[in-house]
């Protein structure tokens, strides 16, 4: 009987995989470049995507280098990102993208080829590493120091929002051999992990060296998405942290909206951060993606969950209750890093409801938001305001919240005082402010924008947030969200069936 049950489950699994492959293939065929541009999304209205049940979203920060039996079956046919891109074009799965993306793929292919040629020298294969624990290896290295820069320089990709940086790096990462010590992680998540490790090693003479030793032991190839520095605590440790990482042989691949010289621009004690910029440019090839196209804003239009207007709060609550189904929403508490708790006003069936002030006007950060989306896949956020000088801190938190949601493919329902672009109209960079026409006698004080917020970091970040809010309201994004939940639910069903059969 057990044999028959397992056979049925395998048939079901194969069927689900075929459905998923057909779904992804259909998405690929609709592309006109690497990221599905079709038309600009709209914001008003509603789209009911009924998904029964709840599953925890997959965190992209998962370590992809856990020790296990060698399995290279997935590496067959892999030849690098540019080769894979050209293969998909030849197969009709993709249409050729713009020259800027193709140029970036050439840089990624060059890096891929160099890494393959130097895999032994870089000690990329995790199976060739010592069986000692990471801490033991670090202690042993104190007696026999082995400082060795990688023979291969990394790659720092930067460019405007929506130019496909994350997608291009993912294409590169997917082509890497499964046996390599590698990790792909969002920069926010990476720094949270660093601070958590530092907390564990309190009292050690140089905890940063210990943490760098642990990280480099796990991942010689480190891929960091959305590299940006806004926190003074991060800024002050990055130079020493990456100094240790690079001397341990780590190869860095990073994406960012900012050129290296513009990182942490105008930040507190930036003079202490400047050596890191020099180190970064020394250990990485810097490449700009010069495309002027924001592909996120070219996803196919769909009436989404972004509501504006006087009746928007009522619409939000109605949609929230439709999504939780027959379950009853109740106040909940979720655990975030280092034992901290986050209070959720209402939650049920994987959906959380927050007034904006409870999530962005309180002293919360990336750690709290990551903790929230480990437990919920959908957020209903009521009352997103127009941002300006008076609520600049809340704007920073909202930017971080959107980044974390986008990274986890979470779904956003929200009410707002304006469209994504209107929310950030009063946020400008120093350069933008200098180019603005000065107030003259013909302009009344009433019409003058007294709430203008001049902030370089926020001014650059707003474009990314507007772009992501647009994409998160598109049919493609909502389909990906649904597919992620469906796949996770199927995996959980398999685990339950295994437990019943045990």
The whole-chain average pLDDT of the chain stands at 78
Which two three-digit tokens encode residue 35? 């990221």
Could you read off the pLDDT of 234-290 as tens digits, one per residue?
A: 999 999 999 999 999 999 999 998 899 999 888 888 999 999 999 999 999 999 987
Query: Is the confidence at residue 138, as pLDDT, over 60?
Result: no
Q: What is the pLDDT of residues 459-498, one digit of tens each?
A: 888 988 998 898 888 887 888 888 888 887 777 777 777 7
For position 129, what pLDDT does the model report? 56
Return phi, psi of residue 412, to 5°.
-115, 125
What's the CA angle centered on 395, arms 342 and 379, to 5 degrees?
45
pLDDT at 437: 61
pLDDT above 70 for 63: no
pLDDT in tens, 70-87: 555 567 667 888 888 888
- Between the alpha carbon of residue 340 and those of residues 148, 192, 372, the distances in Å are 38, 13, 12
Angle of CA points 60, 63, 66, to nearest 5°:
150
Q: Where in the chain is the domain with CATH 3.40.50.300?
A: 99-289
Tokens of 346: 């209402």
d(CA 200, CA 212): 13
Note the pLDDT of residue 342: 93
**Among the CATH numbers 3.40.50.20, 1.10.8.50, 3.10.180.10, 3.40.50.300, which is that of 99-289?**
3.40.50.300
**Residue listed under structure tokens 């190839």:** 221
Give every CB contact of residue 380 below 8 A, 6+ residues apart in sequence: 316, 317, 319, 320, 351, 352, 353, 354, 413, 414
Which has the closest alpha carbon to 102: 171, 4, 189, 2?
171
Helix residue ranges per DSSP H, 219-328: 232-247, 274-283, 312-324
Q: Is the pLDDT of residue 93 over 50?
A: yes
| 412 pLDDT tier (thresholds 50, 70, 90) | very high
Cα torsion through 67, 72, 73, 75, rounded to 10: 120
Model confidence at 19: pLDDT above 90: no
User: Among 85, 259, 59, 252, which Cα is nearest to 168's?
Assistant: 85
β-pairing, 351-355 with 411-416? unpaired
Which comes out higher in pLDDT, residue 388 or 290? 388
Q: pTM for the full model?
A: 0.60
CB-facing half-sphere around the CA of 390: CA atoms within 13 A: 5
pLDDT at position 88 is 72
Taking a C-beta distance cutoff of 8 angstroms, is the pair 206, 242 a contact? no
């Amino acid at each position: 009987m057990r044999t028959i049950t397992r056979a049925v489950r395998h048939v079901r699994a194969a069927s689900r995989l075929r459905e998923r492959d057909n779904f992804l293939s259909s998405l690929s065929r609709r592309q006109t470049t690497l990221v599905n541009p079709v038309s600009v999304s709209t914001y008003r209205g509603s789209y009911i995507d009924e998904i029964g049940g709840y599953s925890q979203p997959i965190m992209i920060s998962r370590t992809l280098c856990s020790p296990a039996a060698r399995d290279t079956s997935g590496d067959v046919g892999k030849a690098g990102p540019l080769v894979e891109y050209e293969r998909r074009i030849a197969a009709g799965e993709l249409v050729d993208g713009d020259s800027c993306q193709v140029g970036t793929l050439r840089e990624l292919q060059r890096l891929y080829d160099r890494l393959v040629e130097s895999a032994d020298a870089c000690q990329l294969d995790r199976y060739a590493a010592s069986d000692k624990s990471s801490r033991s290896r670090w202690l042993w290295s104190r007696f026999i120091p082995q400082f060795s820069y990688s023979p291969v320089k990394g790659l720092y990709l930067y460019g405007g929002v929506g130019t496909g940086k994350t997608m291009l790096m993912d294409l590169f990462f997917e082509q890497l051999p499964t046996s390599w010590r590698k990790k792909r992680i969002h920069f926010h998540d990476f720094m949270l992990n660093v601070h958590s490790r530092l907390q564990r090693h309190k009292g050690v003479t140089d905890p940063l060296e210990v943490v760098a030793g642990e990280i480099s032991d796990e991942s010689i190839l480190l891929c960091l998405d959305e590299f940006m520095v806004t926190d003074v605590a991060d800024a002050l440790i990055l130079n020493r942290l990456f100094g240790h990482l690079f001397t341990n042989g780590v190869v860095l691949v990073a994406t960012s909206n900012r050129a290296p010289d513009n990182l942490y621009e105008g930040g507190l004690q930036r003079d202490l951060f400047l050596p890191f910029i020099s180190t970064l440019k020394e250990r990485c090839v810097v490449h700009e993606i010069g495309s002027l196209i924001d592909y996120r804003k070219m996803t196919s239009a769909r009436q989404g969950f972004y509501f504006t207007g006087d009746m928007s709060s009522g619409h939000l609550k109605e949609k929230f209750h439709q999504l939780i189904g027959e379950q009853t929403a109740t106040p909940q508490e979720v655990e975030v890093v280092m034992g901290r708790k986050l209070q959720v006003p209402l939650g049920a069936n994987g959906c959380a409801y927050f007034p904006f002030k409870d999530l962005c006007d309180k002293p919360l950060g990336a750690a709290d938001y990551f903790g929230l989306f480990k437990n919920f896949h959908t957020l209903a956020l009521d009352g997103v305001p127009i941002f300006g000088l008076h609520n600049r801190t809340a704007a920073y938190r909202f930017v971080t919240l959107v980044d974390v949601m986008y990274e986890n493919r979470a779904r956003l329902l929200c009410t707002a005082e304006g469209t994504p672009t209107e929310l950030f109209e009063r946020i400008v960079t120093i350069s933008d402010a200098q180019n603005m026409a000065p107030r003259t006698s013909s302009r009344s004080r009433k019409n003058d924008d007294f709430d203008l917020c001049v902030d370089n970091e926020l001014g650059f970040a707003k474009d990314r947030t507007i772009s992501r809010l647009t994409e998160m309201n598109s049919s493609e994004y909502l389909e990906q969200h649904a597919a992620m939940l469906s796949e996770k639910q199927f995996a959980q069903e398999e685990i339950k069936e295994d437990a019943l059969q045990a």
